[in-house]
Structure 1
Amino acid sequence: MKLINNCLYLDYNATAPLVKPVEDWLTKGAACFGNPASTHQLGRKSKSLINATIDTIQSTFNAKEYDVFFHSGATEAINSVVKGFSFNSLKAKRPFHVLCFDSDHSSMVNQREHVEILGGTFQVLNTKDGDFNKEEVIKALKGLEGDKLINFTYVNNESGVVWDLNEVLEIKNETGATVHIDCVQLVSKVKDWQKLPLGLDYYTFSGHKFGAMKSVGFTLISTKSNWTPLIRGGGQQKAMRSGTENAFGTNTIKLALEYNLEKFDYDKVNNAKVEIEKWLLENFNNEITVIGANAKGRNATTIFFSIGDRDINTLMMALDMAGICGSSGSACASGIIKPSRVAKAYGLDDISSTNVLRLSLSPFTENSSEIIQKLEPVLSKFLK
């Protein structure tokens, strides 16, 4: 748990504060401003930071056979992978298809328009109780002619449900599909998170989800992958993404990964989550529905529940006034509040899917008592 500006911050799935080594490095003013492409000593120093981060990433995930593609975060990465895949198929004059799931992040679900403009097909597969059916996915992929790209979200950003990547490996082996894995919510939220099941094509991460700076992330790309990069220019990053490399932000990924490897204690934070969830169910069982509670796999930090027909905006305001930072799963666009697609995938109606609350703990939480103490007066007044 981390207290920030006297607030209890329970919105780590949205963004995490900078971890201490990153804060310390930034406050030293040790900024590397040299262009990594320059051959002088300051350029070489910047390049050395990038190379050290690549080594750390490949070592952390035991992924030496993967290239590391740095970008501004998962939204850019997903756009690059989807469009790069589409361009590659167009270049080869092959039909192509992109598939994802109803519970995937908006940056994936909203690729339909561009895929179809480029001449491909786009399909959103349904989940049931938050999980996919392996045989149904295989059937859908085998029914398509040409190149196929499918996205799987390893750890769901709203529900915290964890999918089995070994099943995904079986799907790839049986169908030959290109597979992208959204790993944005993986680091320090799953037991042995660094033991990433490899063998798939792309694994995408965003630095700000685990204590690095915002607007910097990375994707592991199999060296066997064949795609056409989206951003053209001077050929930086083996031409995977041209443009001057962000050595400054990239180094914070290294520092944050090292910190998470050292400090994350799965049992402590998972026990705290279980205690908070148990307290919620014991005290508000008739007023809430915990989403994903019976999933085959869950992360250690996320509690996601619906408050039925109670107004979520009122609750969010009450929590904020009490100094508690949580998150509503509903999305707001042009003043229109929409139901959570993730909640709807669990069979909740539009009203219940709109009035949802996500509490996402720090991966370094050690106990639940202060969290429960601050939540109790607000939820008791609002829900009872």
Structure 2
Amino acid sequence: MNERIYMDYASTTFLRDEVIDTMKPYLTECFGNPSGIHEFSRVAKNAIEHSRENIARVLRCQRKEVFFTSGGTESNNWAIKGVAFANRKKGNHIITTKIEHHSVLYTCKYLEQNGFKVTYLDVDSDGIVNVNDINNAITDKTILVSIAFVNNEIGTIQDIEAISELCHNKNIIFHTDAIQAIGKIDISLDKYEFVNLLSISGHKIYGPKGIGILYIKDGTSIDNYIHGGSQEKGRRSGTENVYGIVGLSKAIELVCEDIDEENRKLKELRDYMIDRILKEIPNSRINGSLKYRTSNNINVCFEGIKDEGILLALDLKGICASSGSSCNSGSVNSSHVLQAIGLSSLEAQGSVRFTLGKNSKKEDADYVIEELKDIVKRYRG
């Protein structure tokens, strides 16, 4: 096997050719600063607003509700800090779960140091939060609930419709990190009408890195995030990433157009891999829900393996996988997500995440499984 096999699409994706073609003019001849008044600036400004309108059309929201950021981490930070500081006279209580992305958990920890109280809810062994637990955690000081649509490590899908409706009925702002959901789930905002804030990142959907979106439902009470200019209606100042915005718009358009066929293919390959792994590698089990799971996620625990050397062994065989969130790479700590669903520290360290994408093929899956069988046997020995 001479070519490398990439099974880490939840970490990042390649740029689709159509996205590159859309971005090219704004990397070369259309390089104007959108804040100017001459023709070069007008071209750049028009590109931004056309992209905003296109994204609003695809997501089924208002164009004035789409705000561009540098990516998912910034979008999550803005959503949580912005709501907290804008509503602190109303209350100081925030609810989230123990399995959120670190850009949510660390932001909540920061707010705890600044007078806010945070409830970190447990999830069940599948990684699902109980809606009744959210309801029971709500107090008269609760101002925000932030729960990811899809968990980035185990692919668990939460009941966002029910959670957002609960928050709406309690007059509480609801934010969801939809970074791993878009392209896998129809997140049309006319369907999820009670979602106040929603985060998206470009590089998870075959778009560019360094660009994202925070959807802010009209009327949501939230502070401005970056001060210093009039960009993004003065709410997020700084010269706009024009080519990134254009690329993100095209990526969102394509991934939402392809969603049904792409999910069918990915689910078929995912189930094939899961079936072979569980049948052919003794003492292996899937982490997370099999029923409420995105089409591309395979997170598997190999009992008896006590360190993450398995990833290095896979890499030496030309296979790219991960142990969880790429934002936590280099950490010697076990996954907080896997421990929250009941795995021991050793079991968490013996778990591997394979995530599939557009270039994933059955012959690649077969190669990965054959190598994986040998690696697991060797490490257990």
Q: TM-score, normalised by structure 1?
A: 0.90
RMSD: 2.3
Contact 1:327 1:358 in 2 (8 A): yes
Cα distance in structure 1, aligned partners of 2:187 and 2:331: 37
Cα distance in structure 2, aligned partners of 1:27 and 1:50: 15
Cα distance in structure 2, aligned partners of 1:66 and 1:181: 19
Question: Residues 194-233 of structure 1: matches in 2 within 5 Å?
Answer: 194=188, 197-233=192-228
Which of 237, 242, 247 is the aligned partner of 1:242?
237
Cα distance in structure 2, aligned partners of 1:328 and 1:301: 15
Instruction: Name the SS of the counterpart of 2:65 in structure 1.
Output: strand
Question: Do the aligned partners of residues 31 and 136 (structure 1) sit closer, same or farther apart at CA in structure 2, a change above 3 Å counting?
Answer: farther
2:286 maps to: 290
Question: Do the aligned partners of residues 65 and 330 (structure 1) sit closer, same or farther apart at CA in structure 2, a change above 3 Å counting?
Answer: closer
1:382 pairs with 2:378: no
Question: Do the aligned partners of residues 243 and 80 (structure 1) sit closer, same or farther apart at CA in structure 2, a change above 3 Å counting?
Answer: same
1:77 pairs with 2:72: no
- Percent of aligned pairs with the same amino acid: 27
Question: Residues 1-384 of structure 1: matches in 2 within 5 Å?
Answer: 6-26=3-23, 30=28, 32-64=30-62, 67-90=65-88, 93-129=89-125, 130-141=127-138, 144-190=139-185, 192-194=186-188, 197-264=192-259, 265=261, 266-284=263-281, 286-295=282-291, 297-329=292-324, 337-363=332-358, 365=360, 367-368=361-362, 370-384=363-377
Question: Do the aligned partners of residues 328 and 376 (structure 1) sit closer, same or farther apart at CA in structure 2, a change above 3 Å counting?
Answer: same
Once the 2 structures are TM-superposed, how far is the Cα of residue 312 of structure 1 from its aligned partner?
A: 4.2
Contact 1:102 1:126 in 2 (8 A): yes
Q: TM-score, normalised by structure 2?
A: 0.91
Offset from partner CA, 1:263-298 (integer Å, 9 cap, x none): 4412111111111111111111x3212012444x11
The aligned amino acid for 1:268 is K
Gaps of 5+ in 2: none
Instruction: Name the SS of the counterpart of 1:327 in structure 2.
Output: coil
Question: Do the aligned partners of residues 333 and 173 (structure 1) sit closer, same or farther apart at CA in structure 2, a change above 3 Å counting?
Answer: closer
Contact 1:330 1:339 in 2 (8 A): no
Question: Do the aligned partners of residues 182 and 287 (structure 1) sit closer, same or farther apart at CA in structure 2, a change above 3 Å counting?
Answer: same
Gaps of 5+ in 1: none
Once the 2 structures are TM-superposed, how far is the Cα of residue 261 of structure 1 from its aligned partner?
A: 3.2
Contact 1:151 1:181 in 2 (8 A): yes
Question: Do the aligned partners of residues 331 and 155 (structure 1) sit closer, same or farther apart at CA in structure 2, a change above 3 Å counting?
Answer: closer
Instruction: Name the SS of the counterpart of 1:95 in structure 2.
Output: coil
Cα distance in structure 1, aligned partners of 2:256 and 2:91: 43
Question: Do the aligned partners of residues 376 and 87 (structure 1) sit closer, same or farther apart at CA in structure 2, a change above 3 Å counting?
Answer: closer
Once the 2 structures are TM-superposed, how far is the Cα of residue 26 of structure 1 from its aligned partner?
A: 4.7
Q: Bigger shift: 356-365 or 212-221?
A: 356-365
Once the 2 structures are TM-superposed, how far is the Cα of residue 80 of structure 1 from its aligned partner?
A: 1.3
Contact 1:8 1:324 in 2 (8 A): yes
Contact 1:182 1:204 in 2 (8 A): yes
Instruction: Name the SS of the counterpart of 2:214 in structure 1.
Output: strand
Contact 1:291 1:343 in 2 (8 A): yes
Question: Do the aligned partners of residues 94 and 166 (structure 1) sit closer, same or farther apart at CA in structure 2, a change above 3 Å counting?
Answer: closer
Q: Bigger shift: 236-245 or 329-338?
A: 329-338
Cα distance in structure 1, aligned partners of 2:208 and 2:81: 26
Cα distance in structure 2, aligned partners of 1:96 and 1:361: 40
Once the 2 structures are TM-superposed, how far is the Cα of residue 86 of structure 1 from its aligned partner?
A: 2.2
Q: Bigger shift: 335-344 or 273-282?
A: 335-344
